[in-house]
Amino acid sequence: MNTAPTPFSPARFEFDRALIERLAGHGPRYTSYPTADRFTADFGEKDYRARLARRAIGALHARPLSLYVHLPFCNTICYYCGCNKIITKDTRRADAYLDDLEREIALVAAALGPREKVIQLHFGGGTPTFLSDAQLTRLVGLLSERFDFLPEAERSIEIDPRKVDADTVFLLAGLGFNRMSIGVQDFDPQVQEAVNRVQSEQETLAVMDAARRAGFKSISVDLIYGLPRQSVASMARTVERVVAAGPDRIALYHYAHLPALFPPQRRIVDAELPSPGVKLDILQASVAQLSAAGYLFIGMDHFALPSDELAVALRQGRLQRNFQGYSTHADCDLIGLGVSAIGQIGGAYVQNAKDLDAYRAALADGRLPVMRGLALSGDDILRRSVIQALMCRFSLSIEAIEQTHGIVFADYFAAEMPAIRAFADEGLLTFDGDFLMVEPRGRFLIRNIAMVFDRHLRERASGARYSQTV
């Protein structure tokens, strides 16, 4: 079967360097709409419990859940990282944290009522593999005591190859994990030294080999462009080595240097960062390498082999997007567990306390550790549908939106029409009144197009500092 992108395939793209340089700015990644910076403390534990109870008695109970568990610990600090993390070498701290998770899991499960079925599980961090084999086994056991995992469930985990050996990989497979995401960022020793993440190619390849032997269905590798001391040539060597290893998915993230927001980034020497022009050179060359190697463009910064489930979902028009990025299961309610974890349930978003002490104190008091959230309005749900379609399918059926939401598209989005026409004049999209299609040259600027429909962004300033759209 021919799996190469056809002229009308959503995987087809054009890297228009001049257009990207002129139009790329800063904006959300739209792992949710509204974005997390719009969550407020007005949504609290009482509201979350009401949503959980509503699911328990409603039709949504028939649909399986997605679970996300945030494990914040890391042995060492990577200077580029913007995640919510705790740096420690004391693995006993994870035992106390598992006690907290046990309390939270019990509270959530009790609020949900009858045992829920789970179709997707993700361990993120931090470094999930900071946990010992015994601690990982305990955590999976805690979840299995309260939830029923479907046989076809996707179970994924983020891996630091420096902290994992083949025995742990096989243990993870035995615990049901079938997908892993491996942080590489860059194989160049000088770049690794500059960001305090020294990781040999051999360590990475050994983990990938063990994962294949253990039966993992999918391996994803994370790369970052724009890091200090990085060049077109050095990144080309990294991409070449990663492609040779043959992961199913490759994420090529843009490094957002925000030292005022993420203090560890202050240790990065600004003078060693590549210029904006060089960063774009690196991206352009890397994209060309990945395409030549047979990886399909999924969207934004994700690439996958044609046989991967993300690529299949893109071709079939059922790709989704959630807080972990592109997915095939984002239509599920998502329960976030652990410090700072975000969930989505019944038309609402909820986030746990970001501070470990506050998270722990709430649970010790028998309360769900909710810090903030948001109940979506009808307008939010409509705009989320539009943004989801654009981000995941590069197309929008006007008739489907009108029938589902009971609107006249041109009237409802009258304020957006000038920007839509401007992007059409630029060749980023076509709009004939029946369909809005993102053209291949507009696909690397999909965040810019999605931002047109972001009412919160247009009408209310946010304190958030967004990353560059390309």
Q: Which amino acid is at 78?
A: C
Q: Are residues 422 and 310 in the same domain?
A: no
81 has binding-site annotation: yes
Q: Is the pLDDT of residue 257 over 60?
A: yes
Residue 261 pLDDT class (50, 70, 90 cuts): confident
Q: Which of 200, 153, 203 is nearest to 179 (CA)?
A: 153
Number of domains in the chain: 2
The structure tokens listed for 328 are 């095939």
In a domain, 18, yes or no: no
Q: Are residues 88 and 141 in the same domain?
A: yes
74 has binding-site annotation: yes
Residue 318 structural domain: 34-335
- As a whole number of angstroms, the distance between CA 87 and CA 283 comes to 31
Q: Is the pLDDT of residue 468 over 90?
A: no
Given 301, 335, 369, the domain boundary residue is 335
Q: Which amino acid is at 3?
A: T
Q: Are residues 285 and 397 in the same domain?
A: no
Task: DSSP letter for 399, please.
Answer: H
Range 1-6 average pLDDT: 45
pLDDT of residue 8: 52
pLDDT of residue 1: 35
Q: Is the pLDDT of residue 28 over 90?
A: no
Q: Are residues 188 and 83 in the same domain?
A: yes
Q: Which amino acid is at 185?
A: Q
Q: What is the CB-side half-sphere exposure of residue 143 using CA atoms within 13 A?
A: 26
Q: Is the pLDDT of residue 464 over 80?
A: no
Range 174-185 average pLDDT: 96
Q: Are residues 312 and 431 in the same domain?
A: no
Q: Are residues 301 and 403 in the same domain?
A: no
82 has binding-site annotation: yes
* 6-10, 142-146, 226-230, 241-245: least confident range: 6-10
**Cβ proximity of 222 and 251 under 8 Å:** yes
CATH number at residue 40: 3.80.30.20
pLDDT of residue 2: 37
388 has binding-site annotation: no
Would you mind telling me the total number of residues written for the chain in this entry? Answer: 470
Q: Are residues 386 and 325 in the same domain?
A: no
Residue 3 pLDDT class (50, 70, 90 cuts): very low
- As a whole number of angstroms, the distance between CA 127 and CA 73 comes to 6
Q: What is the CB-side half-sphere exposure of residue 236 using CA atoms within 13 A?
A: 11
**Cβ proximity of 60 and 346 under 8 Å:** yes
In a domain, 285, yes or no: yes
126 has binding-site annotation: yes
Q: In angstroms, how far is CA 311 from the centroid of its own chain?
A: 16
Q: Which of 112, 109, 122 is nearest to 60 (CA)?
A: 112
Given 267, 302, 335, the domain boundary residue is 335
Q: Give the ranges where 195-351 is alpha helix by DSSP (H).
A: 201-214, 232-245, 276-292, 309-316
CA dihedral 264, 270, 276, 282 (to 10 degrees): -70
What pLDDT digit, counting tens, does each position of 376-394 carry?
A: 999 999 999 999 999 999 9
More confidently predicted of 264 and 141: 141
- As a whole number of angstroms, the distance between CA 440 and CA 20 comes to 13
In a domain, 351, yes or no: no
In a domain, 367, yes or no: no
246 has binding-site annotation: no
Instruction: Count CB atoms within 10 A of the CB of residue 469.
Output: 22
158 has binding-site annotation: yes
Q: Give the rounded percent of residues in the chain with a pLDDT score beyond 70.
A: 96
- As a whole number of angstroms, the distance between CA 37 and CA 24 comes to 21
In the chain, the N- to C-terminal Cα span, in Å, equals 32
Q: Which amino acid is at 81?
A: C
Given 335, 369, 399, the domain boundary residue is 335
Q: Are residues 323 and 235 in the same domain?
A: yes
In a domain, 348, yes or no: no
Range 41-64 average pLDDT: 85
336 has binding-site annotation: no
295 has binding-site annotation: no
* 59-68, 109-118, 177-186, 193-202: least confident range: 59-68
**Cβ proximity of 223 and 183 under 8 Å:** no
Q: Is the pLDDT of residue 455 over 90?
A: yes
Q: Is the pLDDT of residue 5 over 70?
A: no
For residue 283, give every residue at least 6 positions away whose Cβ sits within 8 Å of its Cβ, in sequence order, or none: 225, 252, 254, 470
Q: Are residues 83 and 199 in the same domain?
A: yes
- As a whole number of angstroms, the distance between CA 120 and CA 156 comes to 8
406 has binding-site annotation: no
E strand spans, 160-239? 179-185, 218-225
Q: Are residues 420 and 305 in the same domain?
A: no
Q: What is the mean pLDDT of the chain?
A: 92
**Cβ proximity of 136 and 84 under 8 Å:** no
What pLDDT digit, counting tens, does each position of 223-256 carry?
A: 999 999 999 999 999 999 999 999 999 999 999 8
357 has binding-site annotation: no
CATH number at residue 453: 1.10.10.920
E strand spans, 287-402? 296-299, 302-304, 320-322, 325-327, 334-337, 342-344, 348-352, 370-375, 395-397
What pLDDT digit, counting tens, does each position of 43-52 carry?
A: 999 999 999 9
124 has binding-site annotation: no
More confidently predicted of 210 and 115: 210
Range 68-76 average pLDDT: 95
Q: Is the pLDDT of residue 296 over 70?
A: yes
pLDDT of residue 60: 54
In a domain, 130, yes or no: yes
342 has binding-site annotation: yes
pLDDT of residue 463: 63
In a domain, 212, yes or no: yes
197 has binding-site annotation: yes
In a domain, 318, yes or no: yes
What pLDDT digit, counting tens, does each position of 352-366 carry?
A: 999 999 999 999 999
Q: Which amino acid is at 358?
A: A
* 19-28, 115-124, 278-287: least confident range: 19-28
Q: Which amino acid is at 52?
A: L
Q: Are residues 323 and 248 in the same domain?
A: yes
In degrees and rounded to multiples of 5, residue 210 shows phi and psi of -65, -40
Residue 7 pLDDT class (50, 70, 90 cuts): very low
Q: Are residues 219 and 306 in the same domain?
A: yes
Report cis status (omega within 30 of 0) of the bond before 34: yes
Tell me the whole-structure pTM to 2 decimals. 0.93
**Cβ proximity of 334 and 65 under 8 Å:** yes
